[in-house]
């Protein structure tokens, strides 16, 4: 059947005595956009952070191309081919755009190709090339989000995880951002997208999961969920 | 009251302040790397500087190696020592939220080094006496101390070296990135331990340079170093975190400040003035005098 | 479970020292020996002085024990002396703890003193609490009088007396045209420095000298160029300074760098250490240092003590005799009282005269204070040469030429 | 009932300790001095604990407040401020010695705490201590300069009042910490140390509580300084304004377990014992051992002894 690039089985994560994820299972097929949607505090970011190696799961396993990556350090996860664009972008604000990009290619696997990746990134985001010597912290929100995505692309990942890429951006820029995600996917990138902007996320994704208080409550094709009355009532009712 | 003031005197005062301040600056750069990446209040820095001064003294008396020729040996040894200190003492502790732990390890290390030195070399003051000790270069009516000028040159060269390393090499950029946001750095694949080891190696390596500059200029005893830890901390706060050049400049500002206040007020008050300015800076511009505020993203 | 066990181990570890402390009141073999306690600086910044003090006390005890000890009437025989030390960590608060320990744990019979006035004040206060004899040197008579101690005794010179030395030297040893005209006074910000500073200022008045520069000197300051520039601007030709050795070395180096020519430089405390001469080499020549004592003193044992010190430490000392003498006087007092009972020894150290010590003849007044003169020595090729008080056929003071002409 | 158990046991322990001078002669036994020292350390440690353990702010100014208390006592005594016959263990003098540091704590605490976070607060308080030191050394007649102020030691008769006062202050400090943590204020403090933004958004006026904790800590340190002045009879910069009076409490608190009520007590007891015993049995090299012990404890028991125990139970 389809190739399961990333597979998560029965994942439990807790912060101290507070349980954040209760047996989450999902999988991301190669070449697809999978969206993970849910309300604030449902556990979306926790899941991404656990995949990225920032949190240690209590139970369960994470498989990447069939290999266990559970409990690896963040550095090892990136090196394996999973890149993450964190919530709030987390750029190195005092470094220049170019330096931010170069550091994206810091891992051993990507380091020999830094020059090449840099050219590719500039090709994808011509704006970044013109601003390459600017301090990252001085750019606008949309530009920073672009840089954050470009930086994670520098590690030549197989899968890209985006945590709330539309947060704090103007509607026009949000639209551009989603177009960009689709474009990346057309170029062959597998994407795991976490969003609060549920309508947009479901529209572009091939498959989607709805997470609520640490559990997956619904799943299905993006458009299918979009028309699901339960989703409409619970999440989309408040959206435009 | 100040009828003896002349332009030459003021110029001399100014130069002395700068030459003296580079000493603080050197220590502050090392601290800015250690404090910047790991938020460790590394109080043992002064003790390490003195330890390096003793090493320099040893090389000089046992093997007759000129202090300035021992720069590569001591610099390298200090870097290895720095990496060792990190791996042995701080590796486990930096991960912990509680900053007191690293502070206390630094204090413990300070006790240990100071008293080990007192046992090994006796608490009597030591000094290096060479042909160029207390000689000075006359420049247009001013007398510039040779050893302090050398200290200044060494400080400038090592600042330039560290700046180049941090700006031009990928590892250096990683150190800067980690000192800004360690979590984001991990997400792009930068290993914190590697970066921290490098920061420590360079920071302690600079202590080695400072130790040489100190041993050629001053007599020293095992307890001589603590004041450097404090002053480096102040220089760092003046210059602002995250900038190597800022740290050096902070040291120079501090040195000039002390030299002027001890001339115009009195020697004893110099410390109070520098601490007072330090407090004022913390109150009104805690990010440092020289840092343009960059909005945190 | 495992953690719990660790806790019990920890509890055990914690209680061992406490039990040690409680039961450490081991009964001493009373009447078999005379137990004398001494707090000394073994660690901390003052440790170099402390180690010399310790060595000198040990020498004195060894010398007396070689003679079989001291005759004690109640035992009807000579009893040996035993010394116990406690580390005061160069800190006023810790010296109190050290004395508490000597009195309560070691149960000493008498106390010999530690070094430096900063430490002596709390040390005497603590010894007073237990009515314990505390016999010391290097404590200022002026401060000692203020303390109104009933059990302590001090043998030292007064800062006021000692600070007259340079003025006497100028008037008696120098030709009129050689006498300094612009004198700088650099005094360390410490009790000792302040005591000396006050002495110099009052003597300057009576001897008709005014100070061109009068600067306090912060301990451990690293840069003296401002001070030196001030002196240069005022044409200073003589410096009186009081400071620690490291500070004094730094000062002289910076004076040379700045090419400040001073024909008479007289230092207290900081300039007498051998490290001073080692650090400065030839530049130490002409610098004058004070001293408590000299091996050239015409008193018994001085030459030998100096030789022993030189054999052990490979250097000369101008202080060791005062330390040795302190212990020597205490033993003479025990001998005179024929008892090591503290009241008897204290009384023997009041209104009494002791002759033939390494410090010469000493006379204790009614509060237990004996004064001896301060000396002046000039560095010459690595040796401190005694020139004041003048000894017949001894060394003559030389005035320093300009730096270029040395 | 369960809540009363720790209180009653602490009160009982205090009363029992209070009986020690009757059993063991305070003039002959080292134990009384040792416990006196331990109690003084407990007072300072609990004070530091209140600021650092509960609000997460590392203060390096304990020695400054300790010295301020001592200087206040010495100055009142010397100036004969109330024309009383006796200033020795005079409660009014002691309380004033606690209040003067509070004034300074408010003066520097309000600006420092409202502007600075974390490490800068540590440096700021350290700077305050150093300025105070220079002022005391250069203060001339007013502060007694480097000699400091000598007090008439002839009033001393026995160590018992020192012992009991120290015990009472240690009890007081522990009690203050206990009730602070149990009250609303305490919950606020813990919230601050956990997460500042969350605490501020849930409506706690952070600055007020931080400054309150800092002021109480200064009060305790000042009282302890006053007591120590009565013990040493000389208040000098070298005796009181040294960084050791800050480093010891920090060390004892962290080793015992900061942010707990009992941890600082354990830490003070253990470290005072370690310092005393090493100083007696390893003279000359004991700071090396102290250094090694600090490093080892921090490496292997970074959360303090008390948490080691709690995990086991």
Give the pLDDT confidence score for residue D312 in this predicted structure: 44
Does residue B214 sit within a domain? yes
Q: If DSSP states are collapsed to H, E and C, what string results for chain B?
A: CCCCCCHHHHHHHHHHHHHHHHHHHHHHHHHHHHHHHHCCCCCCHHHHHHHHHHHHHHHHHHHCCCCCCCHHHHHHHHHHHHHHHHHHHHCCHHHCCCHHHHHHHHHHHHHHHHHHHHHHHCCCCECCCCCCCCCEEEECCEEEEHHHHHHHHHHHHHHHHHHHHHHHCHHHHHHHHHHHCHHHHHHCCCCHHHHHHHHHHHHHHHHHHHHHHHHHHCCECCCCCHHHHHHHHHHHHHHCCCCHHHHHHHHHHHHHHHHHHHHHCCHHHHHHHHHHHHHHHHHHCCCCCCCCCCCCC
The band of A240, judged by pLDDT with boundaries at 50, 70 and 90, is very low
Give the pLDDT confidence score for residue B295 in this predicted structure: 40
- For residue C61, the enclosing domain spans 34-157+299-373
A neighbour chains, 3+ CB pairs within 8 Å = B
- Chain D residue numbers with beta carbons less than 8 Å from the beta carbon of B268 are 134, 137-138
- For residue B228, the enclosing domain spans 15-284
- Chain B residue numbers with beta carbons less than 8 Å from the beta carbon of C189 are 268
The band of A158, judged by pLDDT with boundaries at 50, 70 and 90, is very high
Are residues B190 and A151, on separate chains, in Cβ contact within 8 Å? no
Model confidence pLDDT, tens digit, residues C352-375: 999 989 999 999 999 999 999 889
Does residue C180 sit within a domain? yes
**Nearest by Cα to A84 from A177, A181, A155:** A155
Pairing relationship of beta strands C264-269 and C238-243 according to DSSP bridges:
parallel
Shortest Cα–Cα distance, B238 to chain D (Å):
11
Shortest Cα–Cα distance, D293 to chain B (Å):
8
Model confidence pLDDT, tens digit, residues C326-338: 999 999 999 999 9
- Best residue in A45, A94, A138, A149 to probe B by mutation, most B CBs within 10 Å? A94
What's C319's DSSP letter? S
Does residue D113 sit within a domain? yes
The set of residues, in sequence order, having a beta carbon less than 8 Å from that of C57 and lying 6+ positions away, is: C38, C40, C83, C112, C323, C324, C326, C327
- For residue A62, the enclosing domain spans 1-75+194-240
D146 touches chain B (CB under 8 A): no
Instruction: Decide if pLDDT at B32 tops 90.
Output: no
Are residues D146 and C147, on separate chains, in Cβ contact within 8 Å? no
Are residues B98 and D302, on separate chains, in Cβ contact within 8 Å? yes
Are residues C191 and D236, on separate chains, in Cβ contact within 8 Å? yes
Report the percentage of chain B scoring pLDDT > 90.
29
**How many independent structural domains does chain A possess?**
1
Instruction: Decide if pLDDT at A227 tops 60.
Output: yes
Shortest Cα–Cα distance, B292 to chain C (Å):
31
Q: Within the 8-47 window of chain D, which residues sit less than 8 Å (CB to CB) from chain B? A: none
B267 touches chain D (CB under 8 A): no
Q: Which two tokens stand for residue C217?
A: 């000197």
The set of residues, in sequence order, having a beta carbon less than 8 Å from that of D190 and lying 6+ positions away, is: D54, D181, D259
How far apart are alpha carbons B225 and A157 in whole angstroms?
A: 49
Give the pLDDT confidence score for residue C64 in this predicted structure: 94
Contact D10, D171 (CB under 8 A): yes
Are residues A54 and B183, on separate chains, in Cβ contact within 8 Å? yes
D291 touches chain B (CB under 8 A): yes
Q: In angstroms, what is the C-alpha Rg of chain A?
A: 17
Of residues C134 and D127, more confidently modeled: C134
D110: left (phi > 0), else alpha (psi -120 to 50), else beta?
alpha
Give the pLDDT confidence score for residue C391 in this predicted structure: 79
> Best-predicted range by mean pLDDT among B134-138, B240-244, C91-95, D96-100?
D96-100
Q: Which of C260-264, D70-74, D137-141 has the lowest mean pLDDT?
A: D137-141
Q: What are the distances in angstroms from CA C308 to CA A30, C81, C193, C377, D157? A: 88, 21, 31, 20, 44
How far apart are alpha carbons B219 and B73 in whole angstroms?
A: 21
Q: Are residues C254 and C359 in the same domain?
A: no
Neighbour tally for C360: CB within 10 Å: 18
Q: Which of B75-84, C21-30, D146-155 has the lowest mean pLDDT?
A: C21-30
Model confidence pLDDT, tens digit, residues C190-244: 878 888 888 899 999 999 888 998 888 877 777 788 888 889 888 999 999 998 8
C65: left (phi > 0), else alpha (psi -120 to 50), else beta?
alpha
Give the pLDDT confidence score for residue B69 in this predicted structure: 92
What's A55's DSSP letter? S
Residue D236 has phi, psi (to 5 degrees) of -130, 155
What's C113's DSSP letter? -
The set of residues, in sequence order, having a beta carbon less than 8 Å from that of B135 and lying 6+ positions away, is: B145, B146, C256, C257
Q: Within the 209-248 window of chain C, which residues sit less than 8 Å (CB to CB) from chain D? A: 216
**How many independent structural domains does chain B possess?**
1
D277 touches chain B (CB under 8 A): no
Does residue B4 sit within a domain? no
Mean pLDDT of D51-78: 90
Does residue D289 sit within a domain? no
Instruction: Decide if pLDDT at B294 tops 80.
Output: no
B187 touches chain A (CB under 8 A): yes
Q: Which two tokens stand for residue C358?
A: 């390494």
Contact D169, D91 (CB under 8 A): no
Mean pLDDT of B18-38: 86
Of residues D24 and C61, more confidently modeled: C61
- Chain C residue numbers with beta carbons less than 8 Å from the beta carbon of D312 are 1-7
Are residues C6 and D154, on separate chains, in Cβ contact within 8 Å? no
Are chains C and A touching, using the cut-off of 8 Å on CB pairs and a minimum of 3 such pairs? no
Does residue D66 sit within a domain? yes
Nearest CB to B145: which of C220, C234, C257?
C257
Model confidence pLDDT, tens digit, residues D213-234: 899 999 999 999 999 999 999 9
- Chain B residue numbers with beta carbons less than 8 Å from the beta carbon of A152 are 188
How far apart are alpha carbons A154 and A111 in whole angstroms?
A: 9
Q: Which two tokens stand for residue C200?
A: 């110099």
How far apart are alpha carbons A69 and A51 in whole angstroms?
A: 8
ipTM over 0.90: no
Q: Which two tokens stand for residue B227?
A: 């004041």
Pairing relationship of beta strands A18-29 and A4-15 according to DSSP bridges:
antiparallel
Are residues B297 and A93, on separate chains, in Cβ contact within 8 Å? yes
Does residue B10 sit within a domain? no
Shortest Cα–Cα distance, B288 to chain C (Å):
25
- Best residue in D30, D41, D148, D300 to probe C by mutation, most C CBs within 10 Å? D30
Are residues C227 and B267, on separate chains, in Cβ contact within 8 Å? yes
The set of residues, in sequence order, having a beta carbon less than 8 Å from that of B295 and lying 6+ positions away, is: A93, A137
- Best residue in A16, A78, A89, A92 to probe B by mutation, most B CBs within 10 Å? A92
Contact A154, A114 (CB under 8 A): yes
Shortest Cα–Cα distance, B49 to chain C (Å):
15
Report the percentage of chain A scoring pLDDT > 70.
96
Shortest Cα–Cα distance, A192 to chain B (Å):
16
Give the pLDDT confidence score for residue D197 in this predicted structure: 63
How far apart are alpha carbons A5 and B85 in whole angstroms?
A: 42
The set of residues, in sequence order, having a beta carbon less than 8 Å from that of A131 and lying 6+ positions away, is: A97, A139, A143
Shortest Cα–Cα distance, C18 to chain D (Å):
7
Q: In angstroms, what is the C-alpha Rg of chain B?
A: 19
- For residue D117, the enclosing domain spans 33-241
Does residue C14 sit within a domain? no
C neighbour chains, 3+ CB pairs within 8 Å = B, D
- Chain B residue numbers with beta carbons less than 8 Å from the beta carbon of D298 are 93, 101, 104-105, 108
Q: Which two tokens stand for residue D135?
A: 């002022």
How far apart are alpha carbons C93 and D157 in whole angstroms?
A: 20
Give the pLDDT confidence score for residue D170 in this predicted structure: 94
What is the dihedral sign for C-alpha C177, C178, C184, C185? Answer: negative
Does residue A17 sit within a domain? yes
Residue of B nearest to A88 (CA): B297
The band of A19, judged by pLDDT with boundaries at 50, 70 and 90, is confident
Model confidence pLDDT, tens digit, residues C284-329: 999 999 989 988 888 889 999 999 999 998 888 888 999 999 999 9
What's A96's DSSP letter? B
Instruction: Decide if pLDDT at D169 tops 90.
Output: yes
Q: Which two tokens stand for residue D307?
A: 């948490």
Give the pLDDT confidence score for residue A130 in this predicted structure: 92
pTM of the predicted model, to two decimals? 0.85
Shortest Cα–Cα distance, B242 to chain A (Å):
9
Does residue A44 sit within a domain? yes
Q: Are residues C271 and C203 in the same domain?
A: yes
Are residues C3 and D153, on separate chains, in Cβ contact within 8 Å? no
Model confidence pLDDT, tens digit, residues C104-113: 888 899 999 9
Does residue D267 sit within a domain? no
Residue C111 has phi, psi (to 5 degrees) of -120, 140
Instruction: Decide if pLDDT at C19 tops 70.
Output: no
Reported as type and span, the H/E element at residue A209 is strand A207-212
Report the percentage of chain D scoring pLDDT > 90.
31
Shortest Cα–Cα distance, B141 to chain C (Å):
11
B neighbour chains, 3+ CB pairs within 8 Å = A, C, D
Strands (E), C281-345: 287-291
Largest CA distance in chain C: 88
Give the pLDDT confidence score for residue B47 in this predicted structure: 94
Give the pLDDT confidence score for residue A239 in this predicted structure: 44
Residue of A nearest to B243 (CA): A94
Length of chain B: 297
- Residues B157-180 as b/e (b if ≥16 CB within 10 A, e otherwise) read ebbeebbebbeeeeebbbbbbbbb
**How many independent structural domains does chain D possess?**
1
Does residue B9 sit within a domain? no
Alpha-helical regions (H) of chain A: 44-52, 74-80, 97-104, 114-124, 126-130, 141-153, 171-186, 198-204, 222-227, 229-231
Of residues C32 and A236, more confidently modeled: C32
Q: Are residues C190 and C284 in the same domain?
A: yes
The band of D195, judged by pLDDT with boundaries at 50, 70 and 90, is low
Model confidence pLDDT, tens digit, residues A50-89: 999 888 888 889 999 888 998 889 999 999 999 999 988 8
Q: Are residues C389 and C345 in the same domain?
A: no
C·D CB contacts under 8 A: 137
Partner residues linked to A219 by β-bridges: A209
Does residue D25 sit within a domain? no
> Best-predicted range by mean pLDDT among B9-13, B60-64, B169-173, D40-44?
D40-44
Partner residues linked to A59 by β-bridges: A12
- Chain C residue numbers with beta carbons less than 8 Å from the beta carbon of B20 are 222-223, 225
Mean pLDDT of C377-393: 87
Q: Within the 77-136 window of chain B, which residues sit less than 8 Å (CB to CB) from chain D? A: 89, 92-93, 96, 98-101, 103-105, 107-116, 119
The band of D180, judged by pLDDT with boundaries at 50, 70 and 90, is confident
Q: If DSSP states are collapsed to H, E and C, what string results for chain D?
A: CCCHHHHHHHHHHHHHHHHHHHHCCCCCCHHHHHHHHHHHHHHHHHHHHHHHHHHCCCCCCHHHHHHHHHHHHHHHHHHCCCCCCCCCCCHHHHHHHHHHHHHHHHHHHHHHHHHCCCHHHHHHHHHHHHHHHHHHHHCCCCCCHHHCEECCHHHCCCCHHHHHHHHHHHHHHHHHHHHHHHCHHHHHHHHHHHCHHHHHHCCCCHHHHHHHHHHHHHHHHHHHHHHHHHHHCEECHHHHCCCHHHHHHHHHHHHHCCCCCCHHHHHHHHHHHHHHHHHHHCCCCHHHHHHHHHHHHHHHCCCCHHHHHHHHC
Q: Within the 203-232 window of chain D, which residues sit less than 8 Å (CB to CB) from chain C? A: 228, 231-232
Q: Are residues C233 and C286 in the same domain?
A: yes
Residue of A nearest to B241 (CA): A94
How far apart are alpha carbons C211 and A239 in whole angstroms?
A: 86
Are residues A144 and B297, on separate chains, in Cβ contact within 8 Å? yes
Are residues C89 and D312, on separate chains, in Cβ contact within 8 Å? no
The band of D118, judged by pLDDT with boundaries at 50, 70 and 90, is low
Instruction: Decide if pLDDT at C22 tops 60.
Output: no
C191 touches chain D (CB under 8 A): yes
Length of chain A: 240
Nearest CB to B267: which of C217, C246, C281?
C217
Give the pLDDT confidence score for residue C29 in this predicted structure: 53
Q: Residue B64 belongs to a domain with what CATH number?
A: 1.10.3470
**Nearest by Cα to C196 from C227, C141, C158, C236:** C158
How far apart are alpha carbons B292 and B283 in whole angstroms?
A: 17
How far apart are alpha carbons D163 and D23 in whole angstroms?
A: 13
Residue of B nearest to A135 (CA): B294
Q: Residue A240 belongs to a domain with what CATH number?
A: 3.40.50.300
D130 touches chain C (CB under 8 A): no
């Amino acid at each position: 059947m389809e190739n399961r690039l990333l597979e998560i089985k029965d994942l439990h994560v807790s912060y101290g005595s507070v349980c954040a994820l209760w047996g989450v299972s999902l999988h991301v097929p190669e070449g697809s956009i999978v969206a993970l949607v849910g309300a604030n505090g449902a556990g979306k970011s926790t899941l991404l952070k656990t995949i990225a190696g920032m949190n240690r799961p209590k139970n369960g396993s994470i498989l990447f191309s069939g290999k266990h990556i559970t409990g690896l350090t963040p550095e090892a996860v990136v090196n394996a081919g999973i890149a993450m664009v964190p919530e709030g972008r987390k750029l190195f604000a005092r470094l220049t755009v170019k330096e931010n990009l170069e550091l994206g290619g810091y891992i051993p696997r990507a380091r020999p190709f830094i020059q090449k990746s840099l050219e590719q990134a500039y090709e994808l985001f011509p704006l970044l090339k013109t601003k390459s010597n600017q301090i990252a912290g001085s750019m606008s929100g949309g530009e920073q989000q672009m840089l954050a995505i470009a930086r994670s692309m520098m590690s030549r990942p197989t899968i890209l995880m985006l945590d709330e890429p539309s947060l704090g951006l103007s509607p026009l820029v949000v639209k551009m951002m989603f177009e960009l995600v689709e474009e990346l996917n057309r170029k062959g990138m597998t994407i795991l997208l976490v969003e609060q902007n549920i309508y947009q996320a479901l529209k572009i994704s091939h498959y989607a999961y709805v997470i609520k208080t640490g559990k997956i409550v619904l799943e299905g094709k993006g458009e299918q969920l979009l028309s699901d009355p339960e989703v409409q009532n619970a999440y989309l009712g408040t959206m435009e | 009251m100040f009828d003896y003031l002349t332009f030459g005197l003021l110029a001399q005062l100014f130069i002395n302040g700068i030459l003296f301040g580079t000493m603080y600056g050197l220590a502050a750069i090392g601290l800015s790397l250690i404090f910047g990446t790991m938020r460790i209040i590394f109080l043992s820095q002064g003790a390490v500087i003195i330890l390096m001064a003793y090493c320099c003294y040893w090389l000089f008396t046992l093997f007759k190696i000129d202090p300035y020729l021992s720069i590569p040996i001591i610099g390298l040894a200090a870097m290895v020592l720095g990496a060792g200190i990190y791996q042995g003492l701080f590796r486990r502790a930096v991960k912990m939220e509680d900053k007191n732990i690293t502070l206390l390890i630094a204090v413990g290390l300070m006790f240990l080094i100071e008293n080990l030195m007192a046992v090994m070399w006796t608490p009597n003051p030591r000094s290096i006496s060479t042909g160029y000790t207390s000689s000075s270069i006359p420049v247009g009516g001013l007398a510039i101390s040779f050893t302090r000028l050398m200290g200044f040159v060494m400080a400038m060269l090592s600042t330039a070296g560290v700046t180049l390393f941090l700006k031009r090499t990928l590892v250096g950029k990683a150190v800067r990135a980690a000192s800004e946001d360690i979590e984001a750095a991990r997400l792009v694949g930068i290993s914190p331990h590697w970066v921290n080891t490098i920061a420590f190696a360079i920071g302690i390596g600079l202590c080695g340079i400072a130790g040489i500059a100190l041993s050629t200029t001053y007599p020293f005893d095992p307890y001589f170093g603590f004041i450097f830890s404090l002053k480096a901390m102040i220089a760092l706060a003046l210059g602002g975190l995250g900038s190597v050049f800022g740290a050096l400049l902070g040291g120079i500002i501090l040195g000039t400040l002390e030299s002027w206040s001890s001339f115009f007020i009195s020697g004893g008050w110099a410390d109070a003035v520098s601490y007072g300015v330090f407090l004022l800076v913390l109150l009104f511009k805690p990010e440092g005098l020289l840092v343009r505020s960059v909005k945190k993203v | 479970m495992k953690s719990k066990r660790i806790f019990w181990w920890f509890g055990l570890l914690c209680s061992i020292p406490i039990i040690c402390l409680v039961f450490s009141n081991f009964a001493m073999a009373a009447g078999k020996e005379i137990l004398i306690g001494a707090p000394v600086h073994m660690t901390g910044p003052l440790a170099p002085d402390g180690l010399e003090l310790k060595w000198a006390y040990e020498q004195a005890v060894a010398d007396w024990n070689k003679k079989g000890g001291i005759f004690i009437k109640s035992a009807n025989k000579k009893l040996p002396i035993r010394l116990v030390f406690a580390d005061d960590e160069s800190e006023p608060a810790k010296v109190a703890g050290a004395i508490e320990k000597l009195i309560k744990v070691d149960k000493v019979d008498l106390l010999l003193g530690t070094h430096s006035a900063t430490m002596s004040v709390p040390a005497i206060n603590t010894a007073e609490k237990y009515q314990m004899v505390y016999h010391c040197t290097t404590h200022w008579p002026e401060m000692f009088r203020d303390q109104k101690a009933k059990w302590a005794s001090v043998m030292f010179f007064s800062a006021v007396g000692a600070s007259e030395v340079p003025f006497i030297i100028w008037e008696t040893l120098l030709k009129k045209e050689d006498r300094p005209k612009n004198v700088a006074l650099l005094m360390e910000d410490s009790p000792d420095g302040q005591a000396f500073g006050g002495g110099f200022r009052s003597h300057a008045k009576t001897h008709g000298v005014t100070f061109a520069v009068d600067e306090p000197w912060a301990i451990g300051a690293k840069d003296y160029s401002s001070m030196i520039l001030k002196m240069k601007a005022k044409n200073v030709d003589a410096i009186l300074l009081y400071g620690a050795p490291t500070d004094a070395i730094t000062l002289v180096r910076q004076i040379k760098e700045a090419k400040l020519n001073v024909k008479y430089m007289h230092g207290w405390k900081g300039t007498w250490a051998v490290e001073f001469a080692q650090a400065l080499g030839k530049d130490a020549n002409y610098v004058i240092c004070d001293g408590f004592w000299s091996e050239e003193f015409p008193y018994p044992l001085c030459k030998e003590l100096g030789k022993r010190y030189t054999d052990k430490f490979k250097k000369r000392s101008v202080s060791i005799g005062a330390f040795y003498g302190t212990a020597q006087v205490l033993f003479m007092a025990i001998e005179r009282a024929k008892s090591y009972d503290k009241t008897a020894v204290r009384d023997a150290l009041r209104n009494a005269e002791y002759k033939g010590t390494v410090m010469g003849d000493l006379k204790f007044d009614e509060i237990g204070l004996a004064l001896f003169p301060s000396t002046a020595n000039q560095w010459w090729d690595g040796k401190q040469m005694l020139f004041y008080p003048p000894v017949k056929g001894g060394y003559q003071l030389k005035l320093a030429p300009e730096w270029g002409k040395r | 009932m369960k809540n009363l158990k720790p209180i009653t046991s602490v009160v009982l322990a205090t009363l029992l300790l209070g009986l020690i001078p009757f059993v063991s002669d305070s003039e002959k036994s080292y134990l009384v001095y040792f416990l006196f020292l331990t109690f003084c350390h407990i007072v300072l440690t609990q004070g530091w604990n209140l600021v650092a353990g509960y609000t997460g702010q590392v203060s390096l100014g304990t020695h400054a407040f300790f010295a301020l208390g001592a200087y206040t006592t010495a100055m009142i005594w010397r100036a004969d401020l109330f024309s009383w016959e006796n200033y020795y263990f005079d409660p009014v003098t002691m309380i004033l010695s606690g209040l003067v540091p509070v004034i300074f704590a408010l003066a520097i605490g309000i600006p420092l705490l409202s502007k600075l976070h974390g490490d800068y607060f540590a440096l700021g308080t350290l700077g305050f201590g150093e300025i105070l030191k220079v002022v005391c050394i250069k203060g001339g007649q007013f502060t007694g300069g480097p000699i400091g102020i000598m007090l008439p030691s002839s009033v001393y008769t026995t160590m018992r009042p020192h012992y009991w006062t120290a015990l009472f202050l240690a009890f007081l400090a522990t009690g203050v910490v206990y009730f602070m943590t149990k009250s609303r204020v305490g919950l606020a403090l813990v919230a601050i140390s956990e997460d500042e933004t969350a605490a501020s958004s849930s409506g706690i006026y952070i600055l007020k509580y931080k400054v309150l904790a800092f002021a109480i800590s200064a009060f305790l340190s000042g009282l302890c300084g006053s007591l120590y002045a009565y013990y040493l009879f000389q208040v000098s910069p070298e005796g009181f304004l040294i960084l050791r009076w800050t480093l010891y409490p920090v060390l004892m608190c962290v080793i015992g377990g900061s942010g707990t009520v009992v941890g600082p007590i354990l830490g003070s007891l253990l470290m005072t014992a370690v310092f005393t015993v090493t100083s007696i049995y390893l003279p000359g090299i004991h700071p090396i051992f102290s250094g090694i012990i600090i490093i080892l404890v921090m490496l292997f028991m970074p959360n303090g002894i008390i948490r080691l125990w709690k995990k086991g139970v």
